[in-house]
Structure 1
Amino acid sequence: MAVECNDQWRNFLGKHELFVKLRQNVEAEVLRSNRTLNKNLFFCLDDDFFAWDEKNSVLYTTSLRNLNTENPELSDFKTLLCINPPLFEVDYLLVNPSQHYVALIGAKGLTVLALPKRWGKRSEFEGGKSKINCKLYSLKDPHSPVRTLSLSQSEEQSMSNARGSSYTASLGEVAVAFDFGPLVEVSPVLLGQKGKANLFAYPLYILYENGETSLTYVSISHSNVNIGRLQGPLPMYPPAEDNYGYYACAILCLSHVPNVLVIATESGLLYHCVVLEAEEDDDQTFTESWDSKLELVPSLYVFECVTLELALKLAPGEDEQLESDFTCPIKLHRDPLCNIRYHCTHEAGVHTVGLMWISKLQKYIHSGDEDKDSLQELAAEQKCIVEHILCTKPLPCRQSSPIKGFLIVPDLSLGATLVCVTSTYECIPRPILTVVRPSSPPLLCSEEDRGPVTSPLKALASDSFEKHIRNILSRVSANPVFIRSSDKDNAPPPQECLQLLSRATQVFREEYILKQDLAREEIQRR
């Protein structure tokens, strides 16, 4: 039975009373903070939408399903009050896997909010109360961490103060991001344990500002937490003179076989790396943190490199040099609905990246081909798809307008939707299940012993022609949604508006009209 999708809520979400209250705080938030970093103050659990109020330090929540009725309830929302609100400015909200706790993360602190219990006919928080008190937990008082993992290369370095680590920071040897991989079976030696039986642990990939990546394993059980020694840096293939760039800022592990690491730099470069198991004949150099008696360290094969269009590429002119100089930190978000797609948020907008070559890579790995050089040929066959969703810096000479929120609505009955919230709390929902989606399993009627027998050459010709048409229609760029700065007195002059219009017209002509004409000619020839 197909899931019936109703997307009426997309038109009413931005008009909800929840956003009306948030828009009233825009002027106060500008006076309170002068930082221009993008934030993520929204998240979604099933059909429940959550928003953090920076001024009042409360969490609002409403049901998106109530907006799909004949009479949408635009004023119905709940307020989760903080008994001991955080004293720092909150930048990000992060929900734990059990969906019972929300981490409030800021540049000067971190605390955990416990979501209230659900009960009643509609399974609402505390039976549907309009205002609910929630407790916040500190990570130090009265509790203390079970284990602390040092991300530095030496124990002495982790104990030094911030002033003493300035030399290490200048060399880019400071950890800037980390991410966990899926649960794997590893040797107990990697966790500092004795015994012959393998243990289950989570690989932890740690990224440093100089672009190097280290690895350790974390085993979590009911009795204790075991953390292995730091291994690395992981060798990267094929070798590069600049070690694949500096100013790395984010890392994301996509759960595949093998794992795929996404490494982002502040200049907009994305490296898609395949984690390959170590081989005895690999030429590896071991650092002090690596014990040669242990298993060999895995390696990273840079499958492809992608450059994000942080600032729009306009016609060549005086602004061309400004475009290449713009840099900003990038945040990577995994997609809860599609494991071959992830999203990038930064000061200048939002991008979506789809790794269409994952299925071919897995077939190549399972084939048993041990030649790493043939991976380069595989990478040249099919590139990833990059879609520019939102642009908050349409002109290089203008100030960016960082977003306040980014989330994915996972409920398929509401329609898989990407929601962006601008700095002025304008809500921009957009459907995402379009081109990038995982391949569907084969149907039973597609088996070779079913149906009439067809010629293999005819089937091959049909498939190749369809792929040929798809390749012609594939786009390499698109026109994103433009959001200018909230400063109404600093409107762009007509000359800059003309540049944006010319750029949009050129994209429509080259990526849509011309490619459709080429596809029509190919079909007519056939």
Structure 2
Amino acid sequence: MISTGFLIQAKLHLLSPPSFAVERLLCGACGTRLCLWGRRGAVVAELPSRWGRAGLFDGGKETVLCKLVLLHHDYDLLRLLCGACGTRLCLWGRRGAVVAELPSRWGRAGLFDGGKETVLCKSYAVDERFLHAAGDVRRVHWHPASLSHVLVLVSDNTIRLYNIALEHGPKLVSIYTTGPKPSCLIGGRRILDTLGDTAVDFAPLPDTNSVLVLKGDGNVCCLDCDLDSKSSTSKLSGPLAMFPPADDNYGSDSCSLLVLGGGRRPALVVLASSCAVLYHAVLLPHPQVSSSFRVSTSL
């Protein structure tokens, strides 16, 4: 924590330490919330208010106590997503996803339930029967145009859209197909996985209803996820053109995709390969195709 040019160190003590091994730590962008999670649980630690001339926790106390919200699950966690509205969390792993609704914040310090030592938190499993059995969840994102919908990429080449704002729990709204369904196995791997024709990652385009889908062979497609559409047919376009063109399509071992910016400015798309190479591309409009890339490389 930096204030007036000096590095200030404070000891954070949890009122009820988690009973599981904490493997990862995430600090919220506003600096008021810590997320700790491991393979058998997750904890949301609410930091106290910052006040005083230097704006320090509890006015600069050396030891700071944190409130907790506990979330339990039965499978390994890989990622934690915080909703833009600050009232929902989504935790997901290879075998499923859980959406948690955080309680209201009120009182002078703006803490959960006015600062109670024990705070209850509602959580719902997302399509638990299908995701746990079918199994390989590859990525989960909030819908770019809705705070109450999540998109789940599954290894069967589909992206499933769920409404999570219902009283009885998340409901499947639509299934978008990103390619043929993998079936046959060779050496323990699906044929389409070997050929790089399965979706390995996706990322939403800000301020739109669309997402970019990354295939294992490096191709990037654009998928329309319009919430108001009544059509059951997936609107998948692409692959998008890459400039300057490359014989190997900038690698055939792509593994991850990230979209930065967007809105009124062209989005910056970062493609990662398993060889630790990052390709930075600017998403540009094109008169003949839906979009195009202009790519640069970095290690």
- 2: distance between equivalents of 1:250 and 1:19? 38
Alignment of 1:344-423 (within 5 A): none
Choose the corresponding residue for 2:70, options 65, 81, 88. 81
In the other structure, the counterpart of 1:483 is none
Relative distance call for 1:16 and 1:112 in structure 2 (3 A) is same
SS across alignment from 1:170 = helix
Q: Which has the higher contact order (CA 8 A, sep 6+)?
A: 1
On the 8 A contact 1:51/1:60 being kept in 2, the answer is: yes
Distance 1:56 1:265, change over 3 A: closer
* Structure number with bigger Rg: 1
Per the TM alignment, residue 69 of structure 1 is displaced from its structure 2 partner at its CA by 4.7
State the secondary structure of the residue aligned to 1:249: strand
The match for 1:110 is 97
Alpha-carbon spacing, 1:9–1:123, altered in 2? closer, same or farther (3 Å): farther
Q: Deviations over 1:249-291 (max 9, x none)?
A: 21112224222211111212111112222234xxxxxxxxxxx
Match of 1:72 among 61, 80, 85: 61
Partner of 1:405 in structure 2?
A: none
1:364-388, CA deviations, whole angstroms, 9 ceiling, x for partnerless residues?
xxxxxxxxxxxxxxxxxxxxxxxxx
In structure 1, the partner of 2:143 is none
Partner of 1:278: 286
Residue 443 of structure 1 aligns with which residue?
Answer: none
Aligned match of 2:293: 300
Q: Does the C-alpha gap of structure 1 residues 112 and 220 become closer, same or farther in structure 2, counting only changes over 3 Å?
A: same
In structure 2, list runs of 5 or more residues that go unmatched.
129-168
Call closer, same or farther: CA 1:52–1:299 in 2, change over 3 Å: same
Partner of 1:325: none
The number of residues matched between the two structures is 250
Q: Distance in 2 between matches of 1:72 and 1:278?
A: 57
CA gap 1:6/1:107 in 2 versus in 1, 3 angstroms: farther
Aligned pair 1:268/2:288, yes or no? no
Cα distance in 1, alignment partners of residues 201 and 247 from structure 2: 23
Q: State how far apart, in whole Å, the 2-side matches of 1:211 and 1:125 are.
A: 44
Normalising by the residue count of structure 1, what TM-score does the alignment of the two structures yield? 0.43
1:268–1:77 Cα change, 3 Å:
same
| Matching residue of 2:246 | 240
- Counterpart for residue 149 of structure 1: 176
Go from structure 1 to structure 2 and tell me whether the alpha carbon gap of 1:162 and 1:43 turns closer, same or farther (over 3 Å shift). farther
2:236 to 227, 230, 236: 230
Q: Distance in 2 between matches of 1:224 and 1:78?
A: 44
Separation in 2, partners of 1:165, 1:25: 34
Q: 1:50 aligns with which of 12, 16, 34?
A: 34
Show the counterpart of 1:217: 224
The structure with the largest helix share of the pair is: 1
Q: CA RMSD in A?
A: 3.3
Counterpart-to-counterpart distance in 1, 2:193 and 2:49: 45
Give runs of aligned pairs for residues 489-504 of structure 1, distance below 5 A. Answer: none
**Which string of whole-angstrom CA distances, capped at 9 and with x for unpartnered residues, describes residues 316-370 of structure 1?**
xxxxxxxxxxxxxxxxxxxxxxxxxxxxxxxxxxxxxxxxxxxxxxxxxxxxxxx
Greater strand proportion: 2
Distance 1:87 1:168, change over 3 A: same
Q: Distance in 1 between matches of 2:184 and 2:43?
A: 34
Q: Structure 1 unaligned runs (5+)? A: 30-38, 184-200, 281-295, 308-526
